[in-house]
Structure 1
Amino acid sequence: MIGLCLGLAGVVWAELPVPAFTLAWTHTIEKIRWEEDYQVSAAGLLLGEARVKGSGAGMEIPADAVLSGGSWHYQRQLPPLHPLRLGRTPEAGDYQLCVDQQCRPMSDWIGPPKASQPAVELWSCTMTLPK
């Protein structure tokens, strides 16, 4: 089974048996929510739709974005990401992982952000199911 692994430098800290997820966070300066939808595949993480509630520092809305339900919706064409590397520090707050529209802080799986470990990577991985 293909699932989502969280860790760093190939060391797995947590495995989630999910085919898709949304990565969500609040911009540290503008305090605006950002969301990206991913499919987990053998080739890597496939970015689908992204949404942002507004623009601001480093948050330019793409020209083809459509405003719907209070958020700008758009899609970027990227190759599969393997891994997706995220900066993660106590000052910036935590990311949320959402599955089936239920969001939980990333710290629920891998502990709180630490200054001594300012990054995390997400990648697709083969999971072994318990017998």
Structure 2
Amino acid sequence: MNTLCLGLAGVIWAQLPLAEFTLAWDHSVEKIRWEEDYQIDATGLLLREARVRGSGAGMEIPEDAVLRDGSWHYRPQLPALQPLRLGRSSAPAAGDYQLCTGTGCHPLADWLGAPSPLRPVVELWSCPSPLG
């Protein structure tokens, strides 16, 4: 079984026993929520669906997106991501990414500490479970 690792350059800062998760954030300028659903696979992180609640600066909605329940839903056609690289800003206006599971959404800071100029990037990847 694979799990979700968070860290940088192969160094694990946190490991979460998940099979799937949603990565969510608010656009730093438009303050519009984005969500991406991932499945954890041995080949990497498979992006299954994405949603955005509106459009704005640098937020073009894909042509095949469908408006449902107040969000534009679409299915990006990407190969497995291994790793998924995220920039984290310590600027208050930027906010932090949230990791959502069946138990709710929590900021990455819950596992990694607050965003810091000393650690401006985090990588997420599929890694083997320590339990085998």
Task: Give the TM-score normalised by the residue count of structure 1.
Answer: 0.96
Amino acid at match of 1:81: L
Q: Counterparts of 2:112 and 2:119 in 1: how far apart (Å)?
A: 11
2:7 paired residue number: 7
Q: Counterparts of 1:111 and 1:46 in 2: how far apart (Å)?
A: 26
Does residue 116 of the first structure (1) align with residue 87 of the second (2)? Answer: no
Amino acid at match of 1:41: D
Does residue 71 of the first structure (1) align with residue 60 of the second (2)? Answer: no
Note the aligned Cα RMSD (angstroms).
1.2
Deviation at 1:100, TM superposition (A): 1.3
User: After TM superposition, where is structure 1 displaced by more than 2 Å over at least 4 residues in a row?
Assistant: none
Task: Give the TM-score normalised by the residue count of structure 2.
Answer: 0.95
1:24 paired residue number: 24
Q: Counterparts of 1:50 and 1:100 in 2: how far apart (Å)?
A: 17
Q: Counterparts of 1:100 and 1:74 in 2: how far apart (Å)?
A: 21
Q: Counterparts of 1:88 and 1:53 in 2: how far apart (Å)?
A: 21
Q: Counterparts of 2:5 and 2:25 in 1: how far apart (Å)?
A: 19
1:109 alignment partner, SS class: helix
Q: What whole-Å deviation, never above 9, does each CA across 1:48-94 have from its counterpart, x for those lacking one?
A: 11000000111100011000110000011000000000000111210
1:82 paired residue number: 82
Amino acid at match of 2:86: L
Amino acid at match of 1:100: G
Amino acid at match of 1:86: L
1:35 alignment partner, SS class: strand
Give unmatched runs, 5+ long, in structure 2: none
The correspondence of residues 49-60 of structure 1 with structure 2, limited to 5 A, is 49-60=49-60
1:54 alignment partner, SS class: coil
Amino acid at match of 1:38: Y
1:38 paired residue number: 38
Q: Counterparts of 1:20 and 1:36 in 2: how far apart (Å)?
A: 11
Percent of paired sites with the same residue: 67
1:90 alignment partner, SS class: coil
